[in-house]
Amino acid sequence: GTNPNDATSFRARLFTAAANGMISRSLDAANYLLGSQVRLTAIPASGYAFIAWSGQASGRENPLVVTMDGHKTIGASFKLAGDDFVTALPLNGSIVTASASNVGMSKEPGEPNHGGNPGGKSIWWRWTAPGSGPVTVTTAGSSFNTLLAIYTGPTVSNLTQIASDNNSGGTSNRSIVQFTATAGTTYNIAVDGYDGASSRILLSLTQGTRFRPQLRSLPRLGDGRMQFVVTGQPSHTYIVEGTENFVTWAVLGQVATGADGTVVFVDSTAVGLATRFYRVRE
């Protein structure tokens, strides 16, 4: 034990605490000589990820070597894997499908709104493009109203949006984005619930196939014109056709998508029509 009359006999104690995980130590002892080094390893419980050290330690280095220069209290923080940007779930390959749940997830300080909605229960994936070319990401098959966004950038508060969507995929539970990936670039994929909704998520990513143009309707304009969003290959020209009977299709014009692969088409010839159907082709 410690001799109060002998400073060299002082023994430092190390107290550790963690929820949803544990902290292992090497050397594991009741107390330590001053100057001793202890290696701490944060081990998350199943489904959780290590976030950071707390107490008399900080940062995310794991394992962490601590020098015992006095009594210390150190904690480890764990959160659901994918809840925070730094614990994004990995995606690998050019054709990937992942299933997860955003129940219990949260929105971080500085995190952007995905798909133009505040959301509140986002989950993150991280994918590094194995090659250059078109990519389609969709939440088709999810069981609730999803928001979807793709970013590049190093931190949650310093992101560049590449693409985003809220239900342009044809149903209330299907968001879809298309973009052109650059080989070796890491893309951060966020899925959130509209107005904070949460449930099961199905995420699919496909690279290497040519974009199929898709249409998303917009509210009819007050003067009777119809409008919709064309989503396709970035900086590409498409032909828009319309019909009232599915027998005769008329060319209504051409549209050129922007760098994000989208463009709004307004049909001025639809004024006075009760219904018109559209398709887009190259």
Q: What is the pLDDT of residues 179-206, one digit of tens each?
A: 999 999 999 999 999 999 999 999 999 9
In this structure, the answer to whether residues 92 and 180 fall within a common structural domain is yes
What are the percentages of helix, strand and coil residues in the chain, rounded to 5?
5, 50, 45
Q: What is the pTM of this model?
A: 0.70
Average pLDDT over residues 149-175: 86
Mean pLDDT of the chain: 91
The predicted structure's pLDDT at residue 7: 53
70 and 91 both lie in a single domain: no
Tell me: do 90 and 155 sit in the same domain: yes
Per residue in 56-89, pLDDT (tens digit) is 999 999 999 999 999 999 999 999 999 999 999 9
Q: How far is CA 35 from the centre of its chain?
A: 43
- At 171, the pLDDT band (50, 70, 90 cuts) reads low
Q: Is residue 69 part of a domain?
A: yes
Q: How confident is the model at residue 268 (pLDDT cuts 50, 70, 90)?
A: very high
Residue 202 and residue 147 share a domain: yes
Annotate 182-203 with b (16+ C-beta within 10 A) or e (fewer). Answer: eeeeebbbbbbbbebbbeebbb
Q: Are residues 28 and 132 in the same domain?
A: no
Number of domains in the chain: 3
Instruction: Give the domain-ending residue among 207, 237, 270.
Output: 207
271 within domain boundaries = yes
Residue-wise pLDDT tens digits, 107-152: 999 999 999 999 999 999 999 999 999 999 999 889 899 999 999 9
User: What is the pLDDT, as a whole number, of residue 204?
Assistant: 92
Final residue of a domain: which of 207, 235, 251?
Answer: 207
Q: If you ran DSSP here, which 8-state letter would residue 114 be given?
A: B
Task: State the residue range of the domain holding 97.
Answer: 85-207
Same domain flag for 228 and 186: no
Query: Tens digits of per-residue pLDDT, 1-53?
Result: 555 555 556 899 999 999 999 999 998 999 999 999 999 999 999 999 999 99
Split at pLDDT 50, 70, 90, the class of 232 is confident
Find, among 158, 132, 163, 127, the residue nearest to 259 by Cα. Answer: 163
Taking alpha carbons only, the member of 280, 278, 282 closest to residue 243 is 278
Q: In this structure, is residue 2 part of a structural domain?
A: no
Q: Are residues 100 and 32 in the same domain?
A: no
For residue 242, give Cα distances in angstroms to 70, 248, 253, 272. 78, 8, 10, 15
Last residue of a domain, one of 58, 80, 102: 80
Task: Give the residue-averaged pLDDT of 233-261.
Answer: 90
pLDDT > 90 fraction of the chain, expressed in percent and rounded: 78
In a domain, 1, yes or no: no
